Chains A and B, each alone.
Chain A
Amino acid sequence: MPLEYPKETPAQTAGPFVHIGAMPRIAGFTCFDVELGQQIAGPDVPGERIVIEGQILDGTGTPCRDTMVEVWQADDQGRYAHPEDPRGAEVADGFTGFGRAHTDFDTGLFRFETIKPGIVPGRHGRDQAPHVSFWIVARGINIGLHTRMYFPEDNTSTDPVLSMIEQPHRRDTLIAERTADGQYRFDIRLQGDRETVFLDV
């Protein structure tokens, strides 16, 4: 008999009504006193204030308007608000690093107000360029899609994840466009022309 471990619970799509459980306000009602993921970095958290906006486009180029987008990021010193980050206890009060947004029912736009993350330590002493981790779920997506957003003004040439992408032009799908000071546009293409690189983490 082969050695067996208990298998992970299989994923299923979040469906079209994910907002009910995650952001009931978007579904049209209130249920919880506090909706989670609404503040990534409170007003007293140090760092450069930025806004990230974008759309999730399907294989026909149509914006998905029923999607939930979650982000996870480090603070401006590259520290995660998590007990397994050696510097996790040093993050400022009000910094969660976690954000949750939905794509607008009309425009398909999502929006995060946050701070720009710092350089994060990588494996074997190789630093990772500043990045924001994205997780996308929606109707039609059977298992949540992981990706990352990088910033165009940073040196991303030595980033260990970007360097692994075999086709150089595909690395650009993970780099946001800077549209104004502190404003970034990050569109995610699920399929086809300029398809975003998705990660198996």
Chain B
Amino acid sequence: MTAEYFQRDRRWHPPALTPDYKTSVARSPSLPLLSIENSLSEITGPTFSHAALGGLDNDLILNFTGEPAIGERTVVHGRVTDETGRPVKGALLEVWQANAGGRYRHVKDGYLAPLDPNFGGCGRCLTDEDGFYVFRTVKPGAYPFRNYSNSWRMAHIHFSIFGAGLTQRLITQMYFEGDPLRDQDPIAQTIPDPAALDRLVAPLDLNASVPLDSLAYRFDIVLRGRRQTVFENKLEGA
């Protein structure tokens, strides 16, 4: 199948310039994007195999030292599908997050909350044949950032997703149901439509929790869909 992907709806995504998120002001292109039709360069993209992944890569509770991290033990799971509802199998998901106190293990994070000696905050996995994925982690804490003098991020997990082609490449953030910082967070609020932001808020999933062990949240991801090739579109050339 070498069909084109559906056009991205750029009114659904955050625009480049969102002045309440101050860093965007000098980092947003001022001229319009050049829309191009898909060619082989866009419908292809990096692919990954299990051979590159380690056994604990999707277990953030244990994958830093082998000793358990401190915090609210949490399973994050869901399904990756496209805009036609088909599962995206073999998609690479990478996640990164702060620890339970809102501190990142990064040379550039100077927040006063301490590091957890047993928490790295990175994970990755591939979706299975039906598009499902699962991570285990501790729930990240909220943290302040330099925007307005009292700006705070909602608790979140960063997600990077490689679908089947460059067109589906996506980085986003997952939030947790019920977070009171939602309406204050200038980054979450870069998304114009509240219904779109709802899609980043993972509901509690008690049925997927592990009794006496871990709570669970469900986060489903939708990547761009693609046309059926009933009529020829000569995407690859003559």
Interface residue ranges, A against B (CB under 8 Å): 5-22, 24, 27-29, 31-34, 36-37, 58-60, 62, 64, 66, 70, 72, 74, 80-86, 88, 96-98, 105, 120-128, 131, 133, 135, 137-146, 148, 160-161, 164-165, 190-192, 195-201
Contacts and interface: CB of A to CB of B under 8 A. Distances in A.
A191 B109 CA distance: 27
7 contacts: A13-B21, A13-B171, A59-B28, A82-B44, A124-B234, A124-B238, A141-B28
A97 to B, nearest CB: 7
A123 B26 contact: no
B236 A86 contact: yes
Contact of A20 (B106, B221, B236): B106
B53 to A, nearest CB: 8
Band of interface residues on B: 35 or more
- The 5 A-B residue pairs whose C-beta atoms are closest, nearest first, are A140-B23, A21-B96, A125-B238, A140-B27, A82-B44
Contact of B235 (A31, A123, A197): A123
Contacts of A7: 9, 12, 83, 196, 199, 222
B16 A141 contact: yes
Chain A contact surface mostly: loop
B112 interface: no
A126 B238 CA distance: 8
Nearest to A99: B46
Nearest to B122: A31
Contacts, number: 279
Interface of B: 1-2, 6, 8-10, 12-16, 18, 21, 23-31, 33-48, 52-54, 57, 63-64, 81, 83-85, 92, 94-97, 104-109, 120-124, 158, 160, 164-167, 169-173, 187-188, 190-191, 196-197, 199-200, 221-225, 233-238
Given A11-B170, A80-B41, A160-B39, 20 more contacts: A11-B172, A12-B171, A12-B187, A27-B105, A31-B120, A32-B57, A36-B46, A36-B48, A59-B30, A82-B47, A83-B47, A122-B39, A123-B235, A124-B237, A133-B166, A135-B169, A140-B24, A144-B170, A161-B34, A200-B34
A167 B169 CA distance: 28
A20 B83 contact: no
Nearest to B52: A34
Nearest to B192: A10
A143 B173 CA distance: 11
Contacts of B190: 12-13, 142
A74 B175 CA distance: 37
With a 10 A CB-CB cut-off, give which of B33, B41, B53 has the most chain A CB atoms: B41
With a 10 A CB-CB cut-off, give which of A21, A72, A86 has the most chain B CB atoms: A21
Nearest to A170: B31
A6 B107 CA distance: 39
A26 to B, nearest CB: 8
A167 to B, nearest CB: 9
Contacts of A124: 234, 237-238
B14 A12 contact: yes
A127 B30 CA distance: 30
